[in-house]
Structure 1
Amino acid sequence: MKNILITGGAGFIGSNLALKLIKNGHQVTVLDNLSPQIHGEDAERTSPLYLSIKDKVKFFKGTVTSKSDWQDAINGQDVIVHYAAETGTGQSMYEIQKYVDVNVNGTAIMLDLLANEQHQIKKVVIASSRSIYGEGKYINENGQNVYPKHRTAEFMDKGDFEVKDSNSSKLKLVATDEDSKIHPSSVYGITKQNQEQMIMTVCPTLGIAPVAFRYQNVYGPGQSLKNPYTGILSIFSTQIKNGNGINIFEDGKETRDFVFIDDVVDATILGIEKEEANNEVFNVGTGVPTDVIAVAEGLIKNYGIDVPITISGNYRLGDIRHNYADLNKIKSKLGFEPKFSFEQGLKKFTDWVNTQEVQEDKYAQSIEEMKAKGLYK
């Protein structure tokens, strides 16, 4: 049995992890600020995520940007799972200081305390992200690995959305492994890279085992239906439930690796409990790319609500085209195998959404914010 602190533990992944760890016999403490963007107003009475862990964990309402909140939460812990972060690729491109303050400075405060104060922390698990890779891994016509530069408005304004090498020749998408080039295309990705590198660099000098998980696009029952800035399945679901049409960016053929929440929790617990995970970085996904059109069509089919789909050609600066995970390392070192296909996970997700109150569709508001900043074209 371990005493485990989960920062951001009232969030989507954190709360699910907390409940599974408790089931496995661990004692869980949570530090979370109950952000209204995720939990809505009056979270302590109305947030399903918070209520799912209430009275089951030791809860500190606080922020990772506060040294004293960290000190209170770390006391008596064996393991830290660091989830607390601002998330959202698009929003990070204009709320830059907030993303850096929470994601980078919050992590720096934790490491500073671990380096300079008494504690009993033996392991730190950091939620990294596929966003640190930027565009995924490709092979050119000569069979060489290629890591394309970020796409520019010059090409996308013409409806040319695929990535290219320096000679503008055709590239074949392949799975992104942990040794792939790190070149994030958003402030969010930069902050996740920074978090991961700080933890993987500092912790070993302190005799603490670091583990980093580069999560792909996590989804499933319990994810916030209120947040219009991140989570394509939630955003599309709220639009469909309100009877609003779906505006798909680019040509709809952009792909992501959608990984079900239960698989993410299982992978993370392997990282907490297995010594083989120490000092390692792992991808967590399904290893299967799914395009955005398939996501929209699958949701519409499962809900039985026919709304129009518009493939608009609009795009957001900072978005990537493709990325899916190579899972060979986590399979071989930790024995992880994803249990849920996208179709299976989507059914569980939509069945859950059907039990929830329909949320106000605030997506248009988030797009207007990006337009005003020149980031939505």
Structure 2
Amino acid sequence: MRERVLITGGAGFIGSRLALRLHAQGHAVRVLDNLLPQVHGADPDVTSPLLATAREVAEVHRGSVTSTDDLRTALAGVDVVVHLAAETGTGQSMYEIDRYVETNVGGTAKLLDLLTNEPHGVRRIVVASSRAVYGEGAYRTRTGDLVYPPHRSEQSMAAGVFDVRGEDGEVLTSIPTTEDALLHPSSVYGLTKQMQESLVMTVAASIGVEAVALRYQNVYGPGQSLENPYTGILSIFSTLIRRGEAIDVFEDGEESRDFVYIDDVVEATVRALSRPAAAGRILNVGSGVPTTVNEVVDALLRHFGASVPVSVTGGYRLGDIRHNVADVRRLAAALDFVPAVSFDEGLREFVEWVRTEPIGSASYRRSLDEMAARKLLK
């Protein structure tokens, strides 16, 4: 059935790819995006290929979720909302607190306020949540007990102790985190995503709108920003490799993340729009496979066929987690889908695309300087 779909943040990495997919399925797509320079460049009409992609298949509105008028216009005649609009970046959120809260929490509140108090035809809303809501996620002790450890202390990391440990000093073992795990974000970004998700799931149920929350893990692939220093290590390290610059690895390089390929994320999101079993559900969207930073560096150098100095520095960022990997069994049950693109396969596609793009700037170094100046980088 042809539907009218609004994607907030729809000119971004995930949103533009989702717009392409929905258009190909015959849906009418509308995008609301503020075209943030950090993502789209100073002149988006010239500097943003993501915007160009969205315009090919969608009705694009330049506006903000923090504006009630912009939201009201974008919602007119819509059947389904995919709420992707958010400020992203764990480190940046720790010192641009007001901006992150205003956009992520305030924008979501405005969207829900309109759906609650004004006539509309929206039947379902899918909100992009994040693995950041878990903080450190789930671990097991040597005796098999399930625990959700507190955030690592600055004192222990300053001493070079990066593993997550129990009260008795035991090194705990990271395990896949399920959706009913304890939520204890370690960053402002994570806190705002938790609030976004909670607002949507609570309010939508009270007004008769179906809601789905997708806890995206570390999304990567062709099309992600190579200029935005807050988009993740794949873009950052790729730019350093292409510039022939050294890679500094934080901690001991054994911290791990769950990398999930963009096409798998889009597939999961499309299914969340229509599958009856998804209504009212909170679902992890990840590969279910942990990959360490050291493994990322090795794989990137191999795919680029390059060699640059790599230094494991022992430095660390306050607010970073050690491990997180998603348990994706509920995703499979609700959407009849499990992400299938392996990290090596996805990375190969990513690197092939990167080779066709201009070499990025040194904005990553500036972002580290900003964090160091605020004593968040040690």
Short-chain TM bin: over 0.9
Tell me if structure 1 keeps the 8 A contact 2:272–2:278.
yes
**What's 1:286 paired with?**
287
Q: Which runs of 5+ in 2 are unaligned?
A: none
Counterpart AA for 1:288 = V
Tell me if structure 2 keeps the 8 A contact 1:89–1:230.
no
* 1:115-126 superposed matches below 5 A: 115-126=116-127
**What's 1:328 paired with?**
329
* 1:309-324 superposed matches below 5 A: 309-324=310-325
1:73 and 1:128 mapped to 2: Cα distance? 21
Instruction: State the Cα distance separating 1:167 from its structure 2 match.
Output: 2.1
**What's 1:261 paired with?**
262
Tell me if structure 2 keeps the 8 A contact 1:216–1:285.
yes
1:165 and 1:123 mapped to 2: Cα distance? 42
Tell me if structure 2 keeps the 8 A contact 1:242–1:361.
no
Superposed CA RMSD: 0.8
Tell me if structure 2 keeps the 8 A contact 1:4–1:80.
yes
**What's 2:34 paired with?**
33
Counterpart AA for 2:172 = L
Secondary structure at the aligned position of 1:287 is classed as: coil
Q: What CA deviation, in whole Å up to 9, does each residue of 1:52-78 have, x standing for no partner?
A: 121421110001100000000000000
**What's 2:189 paired with?**
188
Secondary structure at the aligned position of 1:126 is classed as: strand
Counterpart AA for 2:177 = T
2:235 and 2:72 mapped to 1: Cα distance? 34
Counterpart AA for 2:123 = K
Matched, 1:106 2:111: no
Q: What CA deviation, in whole Å up to 9, does each residue of 1:314-355 have, x standing for no partner?
A: 100000000000011111121112120000000000000001
1:333 and 1:226 mapped to 2: Cα distance? 36
**What's 2:88 paired with?**
87
Matched, 1:42 2:16: no
2:56 and 2:147 mapped to 1: Cα distance? 50
Counterpart AA for 1:86 = E
* 1:150-165 superposed matches below 5 A: 150-165=151-166
Matched, 1:138 2:139: yes
2:245 and 2:182 mapped to 1: Cα distance? 39
TM-score, scaled to structure 1: 0.99
1:373 and 1:73 mapped to 2: Cα distance? 38
1:51 and 1:334 mapped to 2: Cα distance? 30
Instruction: State the Cα distance separating 1:39 from its structure 2 match.
Output: 1.1
Counterpart AA for 2:19 = A
Q: What CA deviation, in whole Å up to 9, does each residue of 1:216-255 have, x standing for no partner?
A: 0000000000101231100111111111111110000000
Matched, 1:251 2:252: yes
Q: Which runs of 5+ in 1 are unaligned?
A: none
Instruction: State the Cα distance separating 1:128 from its structure 2 match.
Output: 0.1
Instruction: State the Cα distance separating 1:305 from its structure 2 match.
Output: 2.1
1:304 and 1:141 mapped to 2: Cα distance? 40
* 1:187-266 superposed matches below 5 A: 187-266=188-267
Instruction: State the Cα distance separating 1:3 from its structure 2 match.
Output: 0.4
Instruction: State the Cα distance separating 1:172 from its structure 2 match.
Output: 1.6
Q: What CA deviation, in whole Å up to 9, does each residue of 1:87-134 have, x standing for no partner?
A: 000000000000000000000000100110111011010000000000
Instruction: State the Cα distance separating 1:375 from its structure 2 match.
Output: 0.4
Q: What CA deviation, in whole Å up to 9, does each residue of 1:250-275 have, x standing for no partner?
A: 00000000000000000011100111
**What's 2:177 paired with?**
176
Tell me if structure 1 keeps the 8 A contact 2:225–2:231.
no
**What's 1:303 paired with?**
304
Instruction: State the Cα distance separating 1:203 from its structure 2 match.
Output: 0.2
1:43 and 1:239 mapped to 2: Cα distance? 24
Matched, 1:53 2:54: yes
Matched, 1:374 2:366: no
The count of residues paired between Structure 1 and Structure 2 equals 377
- Percentage identity across aligned positions? 53
